Amino acid sequence: MTAPARPSVLVVDDHPDAGDSTAELLRLHGYEARVARCGADALALAESFPPGVVILDLGLPDLDGFELARRLVAALACRPLLVALTGYNHFEEQARQAGFDHHFLKPVDPAVLARIIGAWAGSARPAG
């Protein structure tokens, strides 16, 4: 039996330090991670780099994270693990209702992200 493949990760954050550092820390945990700075870039990148996991800031300059999550789920062949990573604590319930699997406040421990991604990758993935 082979180990499950590590899913690709799309990090969407308009703050370069936050997005780049999150992606780099996930790379250190063995994940292939790419960064988009806005919703339009995330949608374009998802076409050539279909993510198994999307880590998404809710406050983006062009689309809010809720709308972007809906568009990504509709565009991808398989539903990704959706993780809200934001500075907005009061949107936790709204994120859950919008279909996010997890909601974390910035900053989040990268080991926690790696652990939830690993647990999700090792379980039966939701159908797209």
Q: Domains in the chain, ordered, with CATH?
A: 11-122 (3.40.50.2300)
3-state SS, residue 73? helix
- Are 8 and 52 spatial neighbours (Cβ–Cβ below 8 Å)? yes
- Helices in the chain by DSSP H: which ranges? 16-28, 39-48, 65-75, 92-97, 110-122
C-alpha span between 31 and 99 (Å, rounded): 23
Residue 100 has pLDDT above 60, yes or no: yes
Residue 10 pairs with which residues in a beta bridge? 34, 54
Amino acid in the structure at residue 115: R
- Mind listing the pLDDT tens digit for each residue in 29-88? 899 999 999 999 999 999 999 999 999 999 999 999 999 999 999 999 999 999 999 887
